[in-house]
Amino acid sequence: MLELLSCDQCGKMVLIVNEGSGTLSCCGQPMTWCSEKTVDEGKEKHAPVVEKIPTGTRIKVGAVPHPMEADHHIVWIEVMGDTFLYTKTLKPGDTPESDFCIDPDQVKKVRIYCNKHGFWKKS
């Protein structure tokens, strides 16, 4: 559940929260399932890093801070548990991290989306 699809033509993304039997389409073509990457390649680091902080959980994008430039940046960070989904949207110039008031032991999966390199997860 909570799968992501995208349009290869316009870039629109859809989050599936309940499965059905239909086929989603956009721009006259079926949407593509987004696969979650887990292993970094190259100099940019995308794999989310989960840290315990006094107020909950901090999510950083990469062991080395990810670039946050107009043409290459993290668009959002998602934190999931058994009963919650929290999303923090980011923009160029922001720090590629976010704090969540969640016990780190309740975090089941973290996902991020890079506008240049796609969808990444840590579970």
Give pLDDT tens digits along the chain (123 positions).
578 899 999 989 998 988 888 899 999 999 999 888 877 665 567 889 999 999 999 999 988 889 999 999 999 999 999 999 999 999 999 999 999 999 999 999 999 999 998 889 886
What pLDDT score does 64 carry? 85
Alpha-carbon distances, residue 71 vs 28, 53, 93, 123 (angstroms): 27, 31, 11, 28
State pTM to two decimals.
0.85
What domains can be seen in the chain, in order of their start residue? 3-33 (2.20.28), 48-122 (2.60.40.730)
What pLDDT score does 1 carry? 59
CB 87 within 8 A of CB 97: no
Sheet containing strand 97-100, strands side by side: 48-53, 56-61, 97-100
